[in-house]
Amino acid sequence: MLSESTSSRFKAGFWLHCFALFVGLCTFALIAVGGLVTSKGVGMAVPDWPNSFGYNMFLFPASEWIGGILYEHSHRLIASFVGLLTVVLAIWIWVKETAGKVKTFGIIAFTLPLLLMGVRTFHVFIPLAILSVPAVIYGIARFMKSPAELRWLGWSAVFAVILQGAMGGFRVEFKLDYLGIIHGTLAQLFFLLVIAIAVLTSQWWPASRDALKQIRIGTTFKTLTVVGLVLIFCQLLLGATMRHQHAGLAVPDFPLAHGKIWPDTDSDSIHRYNQQRMESTAINSITSFQIQLHMIHRVMALLIAVIVAAVSWKVFSSKNLNRPLRQVAAIWSLLTAIQVGLGIFTVIKGKPADIATLHVLVGALIFAASGLTVVFAHQTQSFVSVATEKLASRTLTAALKS
């Protein structure tokens, strides 16, 4: 996949890489504020969108940024900023990689949605969001086909950020919790996309890629990294679902759950749990489904921890595995350990907004690190290909001798 890429991509330039990193940093900040919005239960503090209390969002007076509005409105402004940065990043890559009419087409294709978004009318965003879905998929598909063409990742990033913004707005306008789940999950995918662009434009990447090509890893190990990535994504989806049901902690104790290894979820027990809760915000009552989700989240966490430990053990115990893989595996395992601790802490402390948000942030970092681990592992030679290579070599030698 990525191994087919040419070196032209890596000449993308130092400043482009710095800019991509800056977009990644801003996206991280955006996820942080978005996490606070959900953790504090203030996602609907501004009842309209794309306007804010009838004002153009960018002209909403700072004196009105009170209570939950502060978080929700800041989230909207940072999101707009990230959107703008993403368009600049995509145009930058596109201009660098193309010439002539294709270059002009790219500039128009990226600027047009930006101008349309400037119209600030709700109905403009519906067709934009609908068009964005195939556009994102198309960009990823083109990149997979021609990994040297980084501009297609930029293309996908632009339409992903449009889709993401629209989802956030639709959640407010349509008042549907499940749109919040999509919004929360898409944020993680967008972050991974931006981080991928940042890594692929770095000077560090080509050297690391060449180093990775020198080593051999078993297919089991590679599969394990993919399984880890998929599980982490499912875990993020579960986490987003739990958070966007606005029911607080479905299970308030740890290591037990409602005093048991697996909690009762019959009707009487659910009534009792809700009776015992002393919520200070307008959270929803918990249901049997939410308790099951919470417990699956715990089991998945354990499973992911085991997989990360297995991958890390393999990386650190193998002498032939080199620095880039070790670096990313070390980050992956460290973050996972922190994340498990934060998860436990979130439960024990009754889900305070700051800790719950940290849990979301570290989740985003783990997902990005996991994605990089998969990419790195798949740059190496596998045992199968080496064996095939030897067989081909022997056959060739025999043929030459004869």
Partner 1 sequence: MNSKNCLIATYFIATVISSVAADISGKVTLKGTPPKEIVVQLDPLCGKLHSADSKVTTRHFVVGQSGELADVFVYLKSEGLSNAPKPTGQTAVLDQKSCLYHPYILGLQTGQTLVVKNSDPVLHNVHPSPVVDGNKEQNKAQLPKGPDLKFIFEMEEVLLKFKCDIHPWMFAYVGVLSHPYYSVTDKSGAYTIKNVPPGKYTLIALHRKSGKPLSQAITLGENGLAANFTIDAPEPLK
Residues that bind partner 1 (CB under 8 A): 40-48, 53, 64, 66-69, 72, 172, 175, 252-253, 259, 268, 271-272, 274-276, 278-282, 284
- In the complex, minimum distance from the CB of residue 267 to partner 1, in angstroms, rounded to a whole number: 8
What are the helix and strand counts (H, E) for the chain?
13, 2
Which among 395, 391, 375 has a CA at the least distance from the CA of 383?
391
Can you tell me the distance from the alpha carbon of 387 to that of 135, in angstroms, rounded to the nearest whole number?
40
In this structure, what token pair is assigned to residue 45?
A: 């503090």
Cβ proximity to partner 1, 206 vs 252, nearer residue:
252
Cβ proximity to partner 1, 250 vs 311, nearer residue:
250
DSSP per-residue string spanning 354-375: HHHHHHHHHHHHHHHHHHHHHH
For 368-400, b where at least 16 C-beta lie within 10 A, e where not — what string? bbbbbbbbbbbbbebeeeeeeeeeeeeeeeeee
- In the complex, minimum distance from the CB of residue 1 to partner 1, in angstroms, rounded to a whole number: 44
- Helix pair angle (288-317, 267-276), 10° resolution: 80
Cβ proximity to partner 1, 67 vs 134, nearer residue:
67
Cβ proximity to partner 1, 17 vs 40, nearer residue:
40
DSSP per-residue string spanning 304-320: HHHHHHHHHHHHHH-TT
For 237-270, b where at least 16 C-beta lie within 10 A, e where not — what string? ebbbbbbbbbbbbbbbeeeebbeeeebbbeeeeb
- In the complex, minimum distance from the CB of residue 132 to partner 1, in angstroms, rounded to a whole number: 25
Cβ pair 58, 69 in contact under 8 A: no
In this structure, what token pair is assigned to residue 63?
A: 């004196």
Cβ proximity to partner 1, 60 vs 143, nearer residue:
60
Cβ pair 378, 1 in contact under 8 A: yes
Cβ proximity to partner 1, 17 vs 73, nearer residue:
73
Cβ proximity to partner 1, 210 vs 253, nearer residue:
253
- In the complex, minimum distance from the CB of residue 310 to partner 1, in angstroms, rounded to a whole number: 36
- In the complex, minimum distance from the CB of residue 29 to partner 1, in angstroms, rounded to a whole number: 22
- In the complex, minimum distance from the CB of residue 282 to partner 1, in angstroms, rounded to a whole number: 4
